[in-house]
Structure 1
Amino acid sequence: MRLSRIHTAQALVPGSEVEMDARACRYLSQVLRLRAGQSIVLFNGDGRDYAAELTRCDRRGCTARIGNVLSTESQARLPIHLGIGISRGERMDFAIQKSVELGVQALTPLTTSRSVVQLTSERRDKRMEHWQGVIISACEQCGRSRLPVLHPPLSLGDWLNGQPTGLLLYHEAAHTLATVAPPEGTLNLLIGPEGGLGEDERNLAIRSGFTDVRLGPRVLRTETAPLAALAAIQVLWGDFR
């Protein structure tokens, strides 16, 4: 049986004991119903997994004793930075979750002309905390030992200023992934929100050095597009080969 993987922000030193945060404790004690003496796997983003044994696990708190190092990181060979238009709740969560599972190393939520969701300063902070939780949960499930970097939301223009080249998904593009040159270094991937990017925004991205590509003859939803694009990219140039 596969052991549960749990993220912690604490330093993990073999032989030491760590206390789980409220989220992890609730999951271990109330969802999985684990108890003291049972084994789990811990990681803190340093690229390694650690064996651990629960020394306490109940509603009042959970602690674990750290054992030996189990493995090193399973980072994707191709660094991918996903810039994605902010979409409504579950759609954005799904896109982030699957992007993490498919190996992205950085994500930037983008505000665009067709963004339905508008973030105030307070709401932005809450969304960032929520999205970080989605990333952590996805890493726990898929076996990643390093967390992808979640950048604060930016306008499309500001994001493009920091990305010299990349790929822009557009269903009427002349190019396909099979016809563009393999990336050198980090691949920047741009995907719009519900309704896609406006014509002016697509032109801005192309002038900034991006190449527009299509994924077949069908129009994909904003939450489906990252999954399809990243899977195809990993087959062509990444670690699906």
Structure 2
Amino acid sequence: MPRFHCPTALSSSTVLELPAGAARHVQVLRLQPGDAITLFGGDTSGEFHATVTQMGRSSVQVRVGDFAPTQREPALRVHLAVGMPANERMDWLVEKAAELGVASIQPLTTERSVLRLSGERADKKVVHWQSVAVAACEQCGGNHVPLILPVKTLAQWVKYRGEAAGSAVPGLLLSLRANALALRTAAATFIEPSALAAPGTSASRLGVTFLSGPEGGLSQGEEDAALAAGFTPVTLGPRVLRAETAALAALAALLV
């Protein structure tokens, strides 16, 4: 059954017009009145059955049916902070991270970043990446759409995190340092054990922040700043992975 993100208040037995993005998607699929669809708001633990009732030239009306308390989110909330890889690789990273169940993504500009964004260009990219995350959740069945946060420099983000409540969340730093712990060892040591329970449970909503660099990795100074802010260095093994591969490998190890 086709799934559509509908970031509006949903309740059973109501009739509503779909947002423009979802309406276009319905029209592209050539759905007709009477066809069944699924709607999800992006921040709930469930979804709604619905039926198309009316197709307009640029609008789609649906009747919302029963709520299904479907839980497909990982028990552990992983917040990914990543030095943005260049070209389409960031799009690919956002898509796959959303499929895996990441809670949020913080795009970062670092000393070695090839992709550098600021101002209006950065804002447009964030909107684009948010739409990529929505489409990924529509496809994979996820009911929580990860939030794509505004682009920051690594220095800005580390300072902000240190001043905010987020500093209470354990931080893991992907690093090639000799003292880096194996990721799974670090996860077992620094993450609340109940957070590693089976998907679908509500054991822990605290989670972990995972910091990964861009092409070329983070500089020594940037790593030192992250370590001073309380991050623990971790490794995925002896191979040097591409920036987008490393971030996704870490998410898979923590979430799947």
TM superposition score normalised by structure 2: 0.84
> Of the candidates 6, 9, 22, which is equivalent to residue 7 of structure 2?
9
1:6 aligned counterpart, secondary structure: strand
Instruction: State the number of aligned residues.
Output: 232
Task: Report how far residue 123 of structure 1 moved.
Answer: 0.6
Asked if the contact 1:47/1:73 (under 8 Å) is kept, the reply is: yes
- Counterpart of 1:167 in structure 2: which amino acid? L
- Counterpart of 1:37 in structure 2: which amino acid? G
Q: Within 5 A, what are the aligned runs for 1:1-241?
A: 3-30=1-28, 32-45=29-42, 46-57=44-55, 59-161=57-159, 162=161, 164=167, 165-174=170-179, 175-180=181-186, 181-184=189-192, 185-234=206-255, 240=256
- Counterpart of 1:186 in structure 2: which amino acid? G
Between Structure 1 and Structure 2, the one with more helix by share is 2
Asked if the contact 2:71/2:143 (under 8 Å) is kept, the reply is: yes
1:224 aligned counterpart, secondary structure: helix
Structure 1 unaligned blocks of 5 or more: 235-239
Whole-angstrom CA distance in 2 between matches of 1:156 and 1:118: 12
String of CA shifts for 1:173-204, please: whole Å, max 9, x gaps: 43212332141342110011122111111121
1:28 aligned counterpart, secondary structure: helix
Off by >3 Å, runs of 4+ in structure 1: 171-174
String of CA shifts for 1:10-31, please: whole Å, max 9, x gaps: 211211112122322222222x
TM superposition score normalised by structure 1: 0.89
Structure 1 residues 110 and 50, CA, compared in 2 at 3 Å: closer, same or farther? same
Structure 2 unaligned blocks of 5 or more: 193-205
Whole-angstrom CA distance in 1 between matches of 2:8 and 2:227: 43
Task: Report how far residue 109 of structure 1 moved.
Answer: 0.7
Whole-angstrom CA distance in 2 between matches of 1:173 and 1:53: 57
Whole-angstrom CA distance in 2 between matches of 1:138 and 1:127: 16
Task: Report how far residue 225 of structure 1 moved.
Answer: 1.2
Identity %: 42
Asked if the contact 1:47/1:72 (under 8 Å) is kept, the reply is: yes
Whole-angstrom CA distance in 2 between matches of 1:189 and 1:173: 19
2:121 aligned counterpart, secondary structure: helix
Task: Report how far residue 47 of structure 1 moved.
Answer: 2.7
String of CA shifts for 1:94-146, please: whole Å, max 9, x gaps: 11111122221121111111112222311111111101101111111222222
- Counterpart of 1:202 in structure 2: which amino acid? E
